Amino acid sequence: MIGLVIGAVVAAALIVLRLVTSDLDAGALPNRMRDFVTLATSVVIESLPFVFLGILISIVVRFWVPDRWLHRIMPRTPWLRRVVISLVGVLLPVCECGNVPLARGFIMKGFSVPEAMTFLLAAPILNPVTIVTTYQAFGWNDGILAGRIIGGFVIANLVGWVFSRHPQPEALLTPRFEAACRIEAGPSGSGSAGARPRLRRSVVAFAEETSTMLPALIVGSAIAGAIQVGLSRDILVALGSNPIWSVLALMLLAFVVAICSNVDAFFILAFGSTFLPGGVVAFLVFGAMVDVKMITLMRTTFTTAALVRLVAIVALASIALGFGVNLIA
Amino acid sequence: MSTEQQPTEQPPTTGRPATARRSSDQPTKRGADRRWRRYRRTTTATIAALALLSVGLGAAAVLRGPTIDSASINLPAVIARDGQKLVLHADQSLAPITPDQVSVSPAAPVDVTASGPDVTLAFSGLLDYATTYHVRVDRVVGADTGLSGSLDYSFDTPDVPVYTLLRQGGAAARDPGRPEDQVLRSGIAAGPDATSEVVFEAPHILQYAVTDVALAAIVADDQGNTSLEVVPDGGSAVTVPTPTGARLQNLRSSPTSRLFGFTVSGGADAAGTPYQDAVFVFDPLSASGRADPVAGFGGAPLPLVDWRFVPGTSSLVGQGSDQQLYLVDPLKGGEPTPLGRHTQMRGFLPGGVQLVVADGEGESTIDLSTGAVTALPVFVPVVDPKYYPKKIVVQAGGVTIRQYDDVDYSSDSPVAASVIALADAAGTRELYRSTTAGSRVRDFCVSPNGQYLAVEVVPAGALNDGYALPGYSDMSTYFVDIASGATTRGVAGFLPDWCG
């Protein structure tokens, strides 16, 4: 109820702001402020459809797909389960921000935390939309497409394996999300929530996930916009022809621009002639798994310690991948 | 939330009775500690391994010195126009490059410039067809790292199709039931056993010309009346309207502007305008479907006894009956530009717009882009004095290629053999000599890139086919590599499109 009131107040404030400022020309705001608003809004607009799509698919997985069906089709061997789940993105072509609610749905459905992490990291890359757009942008040139697909698969499974060694994987989750999972499962496994009709539970879950995801998305987008305004792209481009700095600079760019994996290939295509292919591959792999917006979204689910380890492994693996591609390309 | 069944990686920690848990607290705690230690070791080892791998790969990438990242070159252009560039893009900025660091194999003259990570090689001549070129830049030094390396790049130039005209029937050209004449397409790089492809057939083909969008042919009916047929690529032949009763000849094409040109003599158009040696041009991509006369002074048709398209342009250069040369662009219109009087047009130097002309005092070139005339001293082949000199082709640097016939006037067939000789600074060498007694060369020409000689050979005892532009039975065209003098391939027919 409080959230509803806050939302209504914010919406009313925005309407009033629009009415008050409608007569002002475009130059009323400083250039950097306009850039910030444009960049932050563009990230929100670009991500929003995928977030809603992810939430909807997550709800379908949680409440409408039978448990037996999901678990029957999955292998029993842990590493093989992670391999299979890292390819599930082929069936669910949602970009990385939409995969966070979906990964949460998987955990609530009974998948282990390492499996959900594997899916979360692999699905933005190993899905048909991302593969096709990357192919359209780069074809088979310099091993960029192959590097992205193979690198994404290996890194996601590496992270899944490392976290599968955790003695209490549920400790990787935030207390709030773990509590939600316990409520979902219930004391007997059917769950207290199980007493409610599925449709009602779906609506409630949609509201809960939306209220969790959207603030994180907006905060992440604002941070992305602010960093882009503050960090000169000219500096990034100047570093492009160095085998080391090309990788590090484009990873930093990927972290900052927080662009969806479905379209990031076309974004970086403009840098393709300036930067070495290893940098492009690192951008396409690292940015699809970790960026400033994803950090805030993942923080709704995983503890800070878990995120630090995840980001460290993904970043180092992406660096190694980028350096390796620069070496052989 | 359920716990994954992972017997090796993640043993279940719940579901045991409370009493049993109490009785084994110590071992369970030890087991939990062991699992925590294993997790921390795994995480630390993974991060350390990835860090070491990154450092190793990064060091290897940096310490190997500059390498080539990408390259760009227009392959169709390097065999058609000189001055084409190959740009090698290194993975880092480079210290200055000197020409002695650059090698090209097979050898080709290049000008070298370098800027930032790019090394630009401008080829000052045309490259060979269907050839693999290896380019190497040695001792390149990274401007920032100081490390040295080399840039290696290879590329394959494309093969080109060459067309020939196969006349059927020899002396029986007008016999009913004879096979039709054919225009054949062959590849230069194809082996000697490769077959040619028929691209056009008609009962009587006098001449033909090709562009990448259409083929045109002057065809004759049984009464000898000529007409122009044009076959668009992938389409069927259409007859282009020409002045009634006119004789069409000297068909040529401009690959660049995709125009066809021909001369019209005799006859008149619908308005009764007569034509004599008037050049007409036809654009197969134009909606008009009509051939238009090239306008001369005052808009009147321009009569030319010899003419050809200027390579790489839509202009044509021609010679009037008074030996005056003219330059005119039929697409842009305007008055012809006089270029002065010269005895003969020899042709263009490969790859440019340098027209070679001959006068009593020798050869010279006219740069059609500037109009500048430059004397061109030529090398004269030294051959048996009894040989009768015939066609001459002059190449860059005054290199001369000339046909000679060994004539025996006491014989019924006076030409006993033909020889084609090349003279350059190194002296004279034979490029072609008739291999069988009585066979002779009808004509020869040089490929557009200057690499090959196309030699039209009339076999001994061949019969004249009686066409206005005569051919002979069983003619063949041989391709001779000018550099080595080796005959690489022979195809049926004559009038290769290079000679157009």
Interface touch B9/A168, C-beta < 8 Å = no
Contact B456, B498 (CB under 8 A): no
pLDDT exceeds cutoff 70 at B403: yes
Residue A237's pLDDT band (cuts 50, 70, 90): low
Task: Tell me the sheet residues that pair with B344.
Answer: B358
pLDDT exceeds cutoff 90 at B239: yes
Nearest to B54 among A178, A189, A323 (CB): A323
Nearest to A326 among B5, B10, B61 (CB): B61
Please report the pLDDT score of residue A185 as a whole number. 59
> Helix, strand, or coil here: A196?
coil
Find the mean pLDDT for residues B165-172. 71
Every domain of chain A and the residues it spans: 31-328
What phi and psi, each to the nearest 5 degrees, are found at residue A193? -70, -20
Average pLDDT, chain B: 86
Find the mean pLDDT for residues B447-461. 91
pLDDT exceeds cutoff 60 at B156: yes
Rounded distance, CA A170 to CA B456, Å? 86
Rounded distance, CA B423 to CA B401, Å? 6
Find the mean pLDDT for residues B236-249. 89
Of A84-88, B155-159, B296-300, B332-336, which has the strongest mean pLDDT?
B155-159
pLDDT exceeds cutoff 80 at A12: yes
**ipTM here:** 0.77
Closest CA to A145 of A156, A133, A159, A154: A133
Q: Of A35-39, B164-168, B218-222, which range is least confident?
A: A35-39
Residue A318's pLDDT band (cuts 50, 70, 90): very high
Rounded distance, CA B408 to CA B419, Å? 14
Find the mean pLDDT for residues B96-114. 92
Find the mean pLDDT for residues A106-127. 90
- Work out the end-to-end distance of chain A between its first and last CA atoms, rounded to an integer number of angstroms: 57
% of chain A with per-residue pLDDT over 90: 26
pLDDT exceeds cutoff 60 at B172: no
Please report the pLDDT score of residue B320 as a whole number. 92
DSSP code of residue B283: -
The number of beta carbons lying within 10 Å of the beta carbon of residue A146 is 13
Interface touch A162/B42, C-beta < 8 Å = yes
Please report the pLDDT score of residue B154 as a whole number. 96
Contact B417, B433 (CB under 8 A): yes
Residue B10's pLDDT band (cuts 50, 70, 90): very low
Please report the pLDDT score of residue B12 as a whole number. 36
Chain B nearest-CA distance from A314, in A, is 9
- Residues from B contacting A (CB-CB < 8 Å) are 1-6, 8-10, 13, 32, 35-36, 38-39, 42-43, 46-47, 50-51, 53-54, 57-58, 60-62, 64, 69-70, 89-93, 116-117, 144
pLDDT exceeds cutoff 50 at A315: yes
Please report the pLDDT score of residue B361 as a whole number. 84
Please report the pLDDT score of residue B379 as a whole number. 94
Mapped to the 3 state alphabet, what secondary structure does B161-195 carry?
Answer: EEEEEECCCHHHCCCCCCCCEEEEEEECCCCCCCC
Every domain of chain B and the residues it spans: 18-62, 68-156
Please report the pLDDT score of residue A232 as a whole number. 67
Find the mean pLDDT for residues B352-380. 91
Find the mean pLDDT for residues B56-85. 87
Could you tell me which CATH class the domain B68-156 is placed in? mainly beta
Size of interface A-B (CB pairs under 8 A): 110
Nearest to B38 among A165, A181, A278 (CB): A165
User: Over the range A252-290, which residues count as b (16 or more CB within 10 Å of their CB) and which as e?
Assistant: bbbbbbbbbbbebbebbbebbebbbbbbbbbbbbbbbbb
Find the mean pLDDT for residues B334-352. 89
Contact A310, A289 (CB under 8 A): no
Within 13 Å and on the Cβ side, how many CA atoms surround B135?
A: 27
Rounded distance, CA B163 to CA B187, Å? 9
The number of beta carbons lying within 10 Å of the beta carbon of residue B267 is 18
The number of beta carbons lying within 10 Å of the beta carbon of residue A136 is 12
Nearest to B1 among A167, A185, A320 (CB): A185
pLDDT exceeds cutoff 70 at A238: no
Please report the pLDDT score of residue A186 as a whole number. 55
Please report the pLDDT score of residue A188 as a whole number. 43
**Where is pLDDT greater, at A236 or B251?**
B251
Residue of B nearest to A108 (CA): B1
User: pTM for this structure?
Assistant: 0.62
**Rounded to the nearest 5 degrees, what angle is found at the Cα of B217, between the Cα atoms of B269 and B449?**
125
pLDDT exceeds cutoff 60 at A89: yes
**Where is pLDDT greater, at B227 or B147?**
B227
Interface touch A316/B39, C-beta < 8 Å = no
Chain A nearest-CA distance from B18, in A, is 17
Residue of A nearest to B53 (CA): A320
Residue of A nearest to B4 (CA): A112
Find the mean pLDDT for residues A267-272. 71
Read off the tokens for A140.
């088979």
